[in-house]
Structure 1
Amino acid sequence: MSDTSGSQTNITDGQQVQLLERVTGAVVTTLPCCVFLFINVTMLFTLRSKPVFCETSRYVLLYNLLFADTVQMALSHLLYFIAVCTLFLTYPVCGFLTLLASLTTTISPLTLLVMSLERYVAVCYPLRHTTIITIRNTGVAIVVIWALGSLNILTRVLLLLEFPFKDLESLQMKDFCSDVAMLLGPQSNDYDRAFICVLFISAGVAISFSYFGVIIAARSASTDKASARKARNTLLLHLVQLCLILFSTIFSPFLIALSGILTKIMFLRLYTVLYVCVSLFPRCLCSLIYGIRDQTIRPVLMHHLCCGFLKPAVSNSK
């Protein structure tokens, strides 16, 4: 009898510890998420506050990248919070959320690709930059980016329709909602891996090509050395961003592989740390990079972050 009481006490204590870990994790992750969302939303508002931001192609592309990252961050934390609260969604609701998250995840590397090519043209073909990189062409590029992302979503939906949902007793999921949980068949899994490989290899090749192209152009006597150096550093940062986005994409499969090795407590702690560092922070990195480095954005961004108490300095640089 005492053994039974002792085992029940141990189970209760274990459940309380897991609950405490989940609550702590939710608090620890929600605070930086709110901070990052505030910074991103402020940056988005900044990029629509002055005509120079709306009439310059690289700022328009930056807005598109930030918008996708902000939506992705909000969706990621929503799914994380649902998992912490041990809520099980239905397949249609989970499918909608994960497909929308997949769309924004696709937009980010494609936008980085176009931004890198824009910097390449600016340094290597400065006289033709204004004729090649126009607002109209930038708008067309953004439409193509979202069209490719939407085509990926349409393909995923068609693959999901092949799953025999009618054979299920209920549409209620038995696992937590995630992109991995919605890979309901071998075809979906194979397509997801192939698409991720093609997407990130293409973006990596384009950014690397632009980076080495800028390095070669910098050796030319006719090239602005300061401009080439800034473009080279920007492209290097784009490559780092791409690697972080790639790691956040394979974040769930990596954790699933570790779940069978670690204890539940250690797994929850590792998940919290990796979630903030790998999933949340990279989505705010773009705001921090451009907000600090760009002389045109920085004073306006600081003015908005300080709620108007700090007057922006007059700057005509781009």
Structure 2
Amino acid sequence: MSNVSQSNTSVERQYQEFLEDVITFTLCTIISCVFLFINGTMLFTLRSKSVFRDTCRYILLFNLLLADTVQLSLSMVLFLLVVCRIKLTYPLCGSVTSLSNLTNVISPLTLMVMSLERCVAVCLPLRHAVIITITNIRMAIVALWALSSLHNLTRIALLLDFPFGDLETLQMERFCSDFAMLLGPSSKDYDNVFTGCLFVSAGLIVISSYVGVIIAARSASVDKSSALKARNTLLLHLVQLCLSLSSTVHNPILGPISKTITRVEFNRLQRFLYIILIISPRCLSSLIYGLRDQTVRPVLLHHLRC
């Protein structure tokens, strides 16, 4: 009777876990697909008219949305692999997480450039057309992707110190994630230092730009309406930066907690944090910037209605 009772409890627990997997899979897939459609429509909108293609701030917005859309897609793929209990090999997981990390770094870097562009527009209005040109913006975007690529190459170089030759197989024991590919203390220390420096630098630039706009707004030579719009835009940049930062604390939060709770509780916490810290920030970019902009909004709504 005791064995039968334990067997029934085990079957019931497995059924409950399966039901949670199905609900999580359905919920996250629907949410991600909806916002991938919105982000894709927003990207199409920013390339549909010459006024968007030839304006510097819309070029930067396109770069930000592109990075967020790719990041959302890859995060969704990794999450579904965990839900379906599929484990990858180290080379395949490294390729996916490298692309994910590449686009993850692009977002705060782009927000830095967008903040500087708004600051120049308000504080140096007479020189804005000379400093902020399409050529300079495109060169800045190339520099952002180059810096992010250099960061990825450094992470890959640190992985070479890991003794892959001593492994019996390249099949991973854990599910694929960016945290799982931080093999060795050097990789973890470098990733923590780079993430900290990146977001401290981005935060200082956004806050400094905001302070500069406030100071310039008190000057009689500055258009008050333009300064107010720039100030609100910089506040949105700061909010978006905080949202981008939230995705980087996902793995550091899960690491220590995984050693103190059961596997079932850990899986539930991981799904909850994934929705709050990974999906939500990547879904809000198009809503924050697209629906707020008076030029983009009517075109975006027109395309969303097909």
Which category describes the TM-score, using the shorter chain as reference length? over 0.9
SS at match of 1:70: helix
Q: Is the 8 A contact 1:66 1:287 kept in 2?
A: yes
Alpha-carbon distance between aligned partners in 1 of 2:33 and 2:58, rounded to the nearest angstrom? 24
Q: Is the 8 A contact 1:71 1:104 kept in 2?
A: yes
Residues 6-85 of structure 1: matches in 2 within 5 Å? 6-85=5-84
Match of 2:117 in 1: 118
Match of 1:205 in 2: 204
SS at match of 2:206: helix
Match of 1:303 in 2: 302
What does the per-residue CA deviation read over 1:140-170, in whole Å, with 9 as the maximum and x for residues that have no partner?
0000000000000110111111111010010
Alpha-carbon distance between aligned partners in 2 of 1:211 and 1:252, rounded to the nearest angstrom? 30
What does the per-residue CA deviation read over 1:3-58, in whole Å, with 9 as the maximum and x for residues that have no partner?
11211221121111111111111111111101110110000000000001010000
Question: Residue type of the partner of 2:253?
Answer: F
After TM superposition, give the deviation of residue 262 of structure 1 in Å. 4.3
Question: Residue type of the partner of 1:170?
Answer: T
SS at match of 2:182: coil
Alpha-carbon distance between aligned partners in 2 of 1:274 and 1:232, rounded to the nearest angstrom? 31
Alpha-carbon distance between aligned partners in 2 of 1:5 and 1:197, rounded to the nearest angstrom? 53
1:195 aligns with 2:194: yes
1:161 aligns with 2:160: yes
Q: Judge which range, 249-258 or 200-209, deviates more.
A: 249-258
Alpha-carbon distance between aligned partners in 1 of 2:160 and 2:260, rounded to the nearest angstrom? 34
Residues 216-235 of structure 1: matches in 2 within 5 Å? 216-235=215-234
Residues 112-151 of structure 1: matches in 2 within 5 Å? 112-151=111-150
Q: Please, what TM-score do these two structures have when normalized by structure 1?
A: 0.94
SS at match of 2:154: helix
After TM superposition, give the deviation of residue 180 of structure 1 in Å. 0.8
After TM superposition, give the deviation of residue 65 of structure 1 in Å. 0.4
Alpha-carbon distance between aligned partners in 2 of 1:165 and 1:84, rounded to the nearest angstrom? 27
Question: Residue type of the partner of 2:44?
Answer: F
Question: Once superposed, what is the RMSD of the aligned Cα atoms?
Answer: 1.2
Q: Judge which range, 265-274 or 161-170, deviates more.
A: 265-274
Question: Residue type of the partner of 1:273?
Answer: F
Match of 1:315 in 2: none
Q: Judge which range, 140-149 or 10-19, deviates more.
A: 10-19
SS at match of 2:291: helix
Question: Residue type of the partner of 1:21?
Answer: E
After TM superposition, give the deviation of residue 133 of structure 1 in Å. 0.2
Alpha-carbon distance between aligned partners in 2 of 1:26 and 1:264, rounded to the nearest angstrom? 18
Q: Please, what TM-score do these two structures have when normalized by structure 2?
A: 0.97
Alpha-carbon distance between aligned partners in 2 of 1:80 and 1:46, rounded to the nearest angstrom? 29
Q: Judge which range, 4-13 or 219-228, deviates more.
A: 4-13
Alpha-carbon distance between aligned partners in 2 of 1:293 and 1:88, rounded to the nearest angstrom? 41
- The number of residues matched between the two structures is 306
After TM superposition, give the deviation of residue 258 of structure 1 in Å. 2.9
1:173 aligns with 2:172: yes
- Identical counterparts, % of pairs: 60
Question: Residue type of the partner of 1:136?
Answer: T
Question: Residue type of the partner of 1:291?
Answer: G
What does the per-residue CA deviation read over 1:95-127, in whole Å, with 9 as the maximum and x for residues that have no partner?
001111000001000000000000000010011
Alpha-carbon distance between aligned partners in 2 of 1:258 and 1:39, rounded to the nearest angstrom? 34
SS at match of 1:89: coil
Q: Is the 8 A contact 1:22 1:268 kept in 2?
A: no
Alpha-carbon distance between aligned partners in 2 of 1:191 and 1:97, rounded to the nearest angstrom? 19
Question: Residue type of the partner of 1:295?
Answer: Q
Q: Give the unaligned 5+ runs of structure 1.
A: 308-318
Q: Is the 8 A contact 1:21 1:268 kept in 2?
A: no
SS at match of 2:210: helix
Alpha-carbon distance between aligned partners in 2 of 1:141 and 1:176, rounded to the nearest angstrom? 36
Question: Residue type of the partner of 1:256?
Answer: G
